[in-house]
């Protein structure tokens, strides 16, 4: 995460993209906890740019639903309460279920790729360290993204991303017991089978079950971001 601080724009990458990515990662990793303010100048200094790209990046984060803006008072990291998380999860089930159903009949699903992702996840079924968990998370995300892509042309993937890439969902897999991890991988295989069979309702049911199980794991585990064990 060092990044060239000096030239700040030497490469083709746009500064605003860099800032956006960094802030996003910091929020998702909990470095910037829910409710913490996003001061433009502080971020600009840390990133080695001026306030202009930082402003844009913050607005984009707000558009992604990761920050909230108050006029003349700046932005802060969005804070979710228990009910919000329930709503989020419901919508995730709805949209990802829809995506799975569509993927089964759209004929645009790359089942070979899905199977390969399953293979690679199962190769890590007994993760030993952070690197393994990170890799599984990456693969899992890629798997779901492939389903989204196959289930919708333009709108659905964006919409789903908004709901999936929310809080804590990020590091959910870390909380899975080895047993639950196996079952999760098995559900992935079921989903591939449903898609290959072209059975929309089967695919929707598998995805629904898959996500509801995930919700239970998160529910059972303790706090959200900010401790606040109230």
Partner DNA sequence: CTCCTCGTGATTGTGCACAAGGTAGAGCGC
Partner DNA sequence: GCGCTCTACCTTGTGCACAATCACGAGGAG
Binding positions for DNA, rule: CB under 7 A: 8-9, 12, 14-16, 37-41, 49-53, 55-56, 69, 71-75
Please, which residues have CB within 8 angstroms of residue 37's CB and are 6 or more apart in sequence?
74, 75, 76
163 binds, among a second copy, DNA, none (CB under 5 to 8 A by kind): a second copy
Q: How would you classify residue 109: left for phi > 0, otherwise alpha for psi between -120 and 50, otherwise beta?
A: beta
Q: Cβ–Cβ contacts within 10 Å for residue 40, how many?
A: 17
Instruction: Determine if 82 is a binding residue for a second copy (CB under 8 A).
Output: no
Chain centroid, CA 184 distance in Å: 17
83 binds, among a second copy, DNA, none (CB under 5 to 8 A by kind): a second copy
The smaller minimum CB distance to DNA, of residues 6 and 112, is found at: 6
Q: How far is residue 65's CA from residue 227's CA, in Å, rounded to a whole number?
A: 21
Instruction: Determine if 60 is a binding residue for a second copy (CB under 8 A).
Output: yes
Q: How far is residue 177's CA from residue 162's CA, in Å, rounded to a whole number?
A: 27
Part in contact with a second copy (CB under 8 A); list of ranges 38-46, 61-69, 109-117, 179-187: 61-69
Q: What backbone phi and psi angles, to 5 degrees, belong to 38? A: -110, 95
- The site for a second copy (CB under 8 A) is made up of 14, 55-56, 59-60, 63-65, 71, 83-84, 87-88, 90-91, 94-95, 98, 152-156, 158-159, 162-163
């Amino acid at each position: 995460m060092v990044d060239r601080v000096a030239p700040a724009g030497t490469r083709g990458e746009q500064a605003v993209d860099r800032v956006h990515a960094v802030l996003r990662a910091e929020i998702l990793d909990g470095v910037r906890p829910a409710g913490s303010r996003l001061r433009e100048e502080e971020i600009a200094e840390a990133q080695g740019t001026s306030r202009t790209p930082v402003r844009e990046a913050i607005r984009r984060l707000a558009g992604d639903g990761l920050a909230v803006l108050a006029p003349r008072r700046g932005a802060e990291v969005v804070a979710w309460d228990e009910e919000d998380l329930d709503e989020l999860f419901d919508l995730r089930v709805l949209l990802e279920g829809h995506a799975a159903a569509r993927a089964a009949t759209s004929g645009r699903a790359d089942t070979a790729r899905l199977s390969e992702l399953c293979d690679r996840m199962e190769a890590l079924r007994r993760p030993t360290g952070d690197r393994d968990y990170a890799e599984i998370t990456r693969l899992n995300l890629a798997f779901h993204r492939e389903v989204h892509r196959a289930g919708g042309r333009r709108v659905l993937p964006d919409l789903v991303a908004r709901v999936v890439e929310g809080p804590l969902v990020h590091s959910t897999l870390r909380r899975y017991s080895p047993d639950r991890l196996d079952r999760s991988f098995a559900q992935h295989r079921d989903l591939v089978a449903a898609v290959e069979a072209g059975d929309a309702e089967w695919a929707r049911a598998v995805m629904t079950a898959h996500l509801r199980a995930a919700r239970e794991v998160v529910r059972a585990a303790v706090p959200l971001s900010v401790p606040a064990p109230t």
